[in-house]
């Protein structure tokens, strides 16, 4: 059934793209040879979900626009869906204007978009990622929420976002709430965010900063939260992106504590070489000192975006 629905969506989106120039079909395909940290499996696999998305806008006049977007996630090694949700990435519709943008649907939470995903040089992808070590601790956080209202606004270098979602569609007794802001001026970037996922006690705060020094971008972030089991969770992450003529060197370190016990202590290194603006080959190494076995992971792959 999901495959049939996806085929129909492709047909409809393709027709819309031909009829209206403001409809875009986009995505990426990512595959390589991979051994994950804490796993002995060596396989052809993805280091960042492949995806197929559709997005567009309509100018309603007077500075008001309607927008929509939906993004499917899939595994390119099998062609299968990533889970049971057809548009796992997001599915939203809304209005934007001088007031900002207001969207409805399955959407990213504000703290993830503006803070948690910005510190890790690997953006949460590859065996070297530290986003889920230092910036998303104790299994507290969500990436997206269903049945949500999201508000975003940007004024100069200041960005603000907030999300509020229904409780019954997100697995908890309470409504998931998140708010975040970031500010960029000159070489500096600063951000802070809060998230209360859905339970009675779970919550997390994040703060982060970044600095551009020539070809290097340095980042640092901190997470402090409490699980629904009322356990303290903390973590931090450090990152480096260094741009070269035809590629980028990346390095990251992250650590996490749960109830005072260090559960992860990870180092990530990688080099991503740009064959073109759309095609990248990458090689990464991850090492987690706290993994109970198979502390080292590595990948060598290719990613094409369109």
Q: What is the pLDDT of residue 10?
A: 52
Instruction: Tell whether 80 is covered by a domain.
Output: yes
Sign, CA torsion 256/261/264/265? positive
Cα 160 from Cα 146, distance rounded (Å): 20
Q: What is the pLDDT of residue 21?
A: 54
Is the pLDDT at 17 greater than 70, yes or no? no
CATH number, domain with residue 35: 2.40.160.10
Instruction: Tell whether 229 is covered by a domain.
Output: yes
- Mean pLDDT confidence for 219-228: 98
Domain count of the chain?
Answer: 1
**How many CB atoms sit inside 10 A of residue 173's CB?**
10
Contact status, residue 221 vs residue 237, Cβ threshold 8 Å? yes
- Mean pLDDT confidence for 152-172: 97
**How many CB atoms sit inside 10 A of residue 98's CB?**
8
Cα 158 from Cα 191, distance rounded (Å): 10
At 68-99, the pLDDT tens digits run 999 999 999 999 999 899 999 999 999 999 99
Cα 29 from Cα 50, distance rounded (Å): 5
- Mean pLDDT confidence for 114-135: 98
Write the CB contacts of 118 (distance below 8 Å, at least 6 apart in sequence).
Answer: 182, 189, 191, 208, 210, 219, 221
What is the percent of the chain with per-residue pLDDT over 90, rounded to a whole number?
91
Cα 261 from Cα 228, distance rounded (Å): 17
Is the pLDDT at 275 greater than 70, yes or no? yes
- Mean pLDDT confidence for 23-41: 97
Paired tokens of 90: 């997001």
DSSP letter string, 109-148: -HHIIIIIHHH-TTTT-STT--IIIIIS-TT---SEEEEE
Instruction: Tell whether 20 is covered by a domain.
Output: no
Contact status, residue 239 vs residue 119, Cβ threshold 8 Å? yes
Instruction: Tell whether 2 is covered by a domain.
Output: no
Contact status, residue 43 vs residue 10, Cβ threshold 8 Å? no
User: What's the pLDDT band for 16 if we cut at 50, 70, 90?
Assistant: very low
Mean pLDDT lowest among 10-24, 28-42, 133-147, 274-288 = 10-24
Is the pLDDT at 40 greater than 60, yes or no? yes
Instruction: Tell whether 14 is covered by a domain.
Output: no
**How many CB atoms sit inside 10 A of residue 218's CB?**
16
Instruction: Tell whether 63 is covered by a domain.
Output: yes
Q: What is the pLDDT of residue 3?
A: 52
Q: What is the pLDDT of residue 19?
A: 45
Cut 0.85: pTM above it: yes
Mean pLDDT lowest among 2-6, 116-120, 280-284 = 2-6
Q: What is the pLDDT of residue 18?
A: 45
Contact status, residue 201 vs residue 226, Cβ threshold 8 Å? yes
Is the pLDDT at 11 greater than 60, yes or no? no
Instruction: Tell whether 13 is covered by a domain.
Output: no
DSSP letter string, 223-245: EEEE-TTS-EEEEEEEEEEEE-S
Is the pLDDT at 5 greater than 90, yes or no? no
Instruction: Tell whether 10 is covered by a domain.
Output: no
Q: What is the pLDDT of residue 257?
A: 98
Domain enclosing residue 216, as ranges: 29-305
């Amino acid at each position: 059934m999901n495959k049939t629905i996806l085929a129909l969506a492709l047909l409809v989106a393709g027709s819309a793209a031909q009829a209206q120039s403001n409809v875009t079909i986009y995505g990426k395909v990512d595959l390589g040879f991979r051994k994950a940290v804490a796993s002995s499996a060596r396989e052809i696999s993805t280091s960042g979900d492949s995806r197929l998305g559709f997005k567009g806008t309509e100018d309603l006049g007077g500075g008001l626009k309607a927008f929509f977007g939906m993004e499917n996630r899939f595994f390119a090694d099998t062609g299968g869906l990533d889970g049971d949700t057809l548009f796992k990435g997001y599915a939203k519709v809304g209005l934007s204007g001088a007031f900002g943008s207001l969207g409805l649907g399955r959407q990213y939470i504000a703290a993830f978009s503006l803070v948690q995903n910005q510190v890790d040089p690997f953006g949460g992808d590859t065996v070297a990622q530290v986003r889920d070590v230092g910036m998303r601790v104790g299994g507290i956080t969500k990436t997206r929420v269903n049945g949500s209202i999201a508000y975003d606004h940007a004024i100069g270098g200041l960005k603000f976002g907030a999300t509020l979602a229904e409780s019954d569609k997100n697995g908890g007794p309470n409504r998931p709430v998140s708010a975040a802001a970031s500010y960029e001026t000159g070489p500096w970037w600063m951000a802070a965010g809060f998230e209360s996922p859905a339970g009675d006690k779970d919550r997390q705060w994040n703060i982060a900063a970044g600095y551009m020094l020539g070809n290097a971008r340095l980042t640092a972030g901190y997470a402090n939260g409490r699980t629904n089991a009322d356990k303290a969770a903390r973590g931090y992450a450090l990152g480096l992106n260094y741009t070269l003529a035809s590629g980028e060197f990346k390095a990251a370190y992250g650590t996490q504590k749960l109830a005072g016990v260090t559960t992860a202590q990870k180092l990530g290194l990688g080099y991503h070489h740009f064959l073109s603006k759309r095609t990248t080959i990458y090689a990464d190494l991850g090492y987690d000192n706290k993994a109970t076995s198979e502390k080292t992971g590595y990948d060598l792959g290719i990613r094409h975006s369109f």
